[in-house]
Amino acid sequence: MRAAPEQLELEVVRIESPAKPRPHRNGSTPRQALGPRLAVSPEEAAAILGVSRDYFDDHVIGELRVVRRGRRILVPLVEIERWLERNAARATVGGRG
């Protein structure tokens, strides 16, 4: 007769999240700890508006003030809001207006 294999006992231990966010390996602080973002990439700006990046480049970015540093472009969220305000029109019923 064969002996039954040994049974392992598992212990469940609750893990608490740290009080302060741990820095990344490169020493930077996680984005969530810095607060809300003030600017986004052009790809993110296009997604926020619900348009393609090509449409954003052709019809929107030229009307925005952006931050350029090297090859990096940052679109301030306040600029997206201003663009929407300037370009918003009241909808009309039945396409008249």
Phi, psi of 2 (to 5 degrees): -90, 145
Residue 2 within a domain: no
Q: Which of 97, 45, 55, 51 is nearest to 76 (CA)?
A: 45
Closest to 61 in 3D by CA, of 90, 76, 37, 85: 76
pLDDT string in tens for the chain (97-residue length): 566 667 767 677 776 665 666 666 776 666 566 778 999 999 999 999 999 999 999 999 999 999 999 999 999 999 999 999 999 987 777 766 5
User: 86 is written with which tokens?
Assistant: 């300037």
Domain that holds residue 79: 36-89
Q: How far apart are CA 49 and CA 42, in angstroms?
A: 11
Domain count, the chain: 1
- Name the strand (E) or helix (H) holding 40: strand 39-40
In-domain check, residue 12? no
